[in-house]
Amino acid sequence: MYKNLVDRFIKYAKINTRSDETSTTIPSTLTQIDFAKNVLVPDLIEIGLEDVMYNEENGFVTATLPSNLEKEVPTVGFIAHYDTADFNAEGINPQFVENYDGSEIVLNEEQNIVLSPNDFPNLSNYIGQTLITTDGTTLLGSDDKSGIVEAISAVEYLLEHPEIKHGRVRLGFGPDEEIGVGANHFDVDHFDAEFAYTIDGGPVGELQYESFNAAGVVVTIQGKNVHPGTAKDTMVNAMTLGMAFNEKLPAIDVPEKTEGREGFFHLTSMTGTVEEAELSYIVRDHDREKFEERKQMILTIAEELNGQFDEKRIHIEMNDQYYNMREIIEKDMRPIEIAEKAMQELDIQPILEPIRGGTDGSKISFMGMPTPNIFAGGENFHGRYEYVAVESMEKATDVIRKIIELIAQ
């Protein structure tokens, strides 16, 4: 039905567009710029979209499907990101498993890398379908190149079938979502849509309008290093003090022990010597009040430990990253109601559940354009076991089309 969907996905997936959190440029890598300018822009022009442009300021590629209606209806947007996560993205070689039978899939015989239903029970949901997997040495990039090709295929289909009535549709494909900064400079006024959807979810049916509130925390600890033979009552071991800091956080409030709307403190890195140590955390909670309490707990622990010394040894740098988009979207639930209806008309059961993470929509919603998230179809993102079913991408494309058609009514 969507003649270019799979071929376009394979073409895009093979291109390394990994982002780099250590970079200070926008986008963070030259490979993303090359992909945006020299692949996405020409492809969008070729299928017949208007206003196709690459924004040098924020790295977003935008395009317009003009309305073919005589009446005014809301402009809707569809947004996806073209960067991939922090895993090998060089030499991506997608593999096809047709009519999947539910057994183990050998991704790489030489390295004995196996995609097994024992480890990933969700594979059983795809029996009889066509899977696209990695070769075991890279990620796949379904997060979020599936979302990109689904949005493109939906509007391409509408261009080829002018008898289907639709309003104005905006597409936006951006960089650096995986490192949390891609939407920081998104231009809502230029995008000019009443509401939008990020196509960045997982399995079929996902419809999400709740995300974490999120903060990043860097704890820097200044120790005092002296010879260990004469260290009594003088040495301050920064690493030991760092461990003491971490032990004061709730032991059960960590990612590996939480689910649903439960928040957490996640120690993402720890480096140091006796003289100086650094601990990096991400702090997450769906509830804004609990989120603020978690941030205050970190400050309180630092204050208590600093009280043991004659000078300040623990320094906290804390920055909010994004907020729960429910605060914005629940004021006008039309985007959710339309997406639910679209799925139901396609015999897809909507799965409304909070995201244990964030999307570009978490930031864009607070910029004034409500932007919930719908499924793109992939599984096991960010690693060698990633896969996506062709049928899932087709259903995501169906949902995008149906949303557009419902708005036109």
Q: Counting Cβ atoms within 10 Å, is residue 353 exposed (0-12), middle (13-18) or buried (19+)?
A: middle
Q: How far apart are CA 44 and CA 64, in angstroms?
A: 9
Which amino acid is residue 393, in one-letter code?
M
56 burial class (0-12, 13-18, 19+ CB within 10 angstroms)?
A: exposed
177 assigned to active site: yes
* Long-range pairs of 47-52 with CB within 8 A, sequence gap ≥ 24: 47/152, 47/155, 47/156, 47/159, 48/159, 49/155, 49/159, 49/171
Of 178, 199, 201, 169, give the one whose Cα is nearest residue 77: 169
DSSP secondary structure string for all residues of 44-100: HHHHT-EEEEE-TTT--EEEEE----SS----EEEEEE--B-SS--SS---EEETT-
CA dist 396 → 146, 378, 399, 400, 406 (Å): 9, 11, 5, 6, 15
Residue from 20, 43, 83, 150 carrying the catalytic annotation: 83
Q: Select which of 143, 177, 285, 386 is catalytic.
A: 177
Over 320-351, what HEC string results? EEECCCHHHHCCCCHHHHHHHHHHHHCCCCCE
Distance separating alpha carbons of residues 268 and 217, to the nearest angstrom: 10
Angle CA 299–305–311, to nearest 5: 100
Q: Would you call 83 a catalytic residue per the annotation?
A: yes
Active site (catalytic) residues? 83, 177
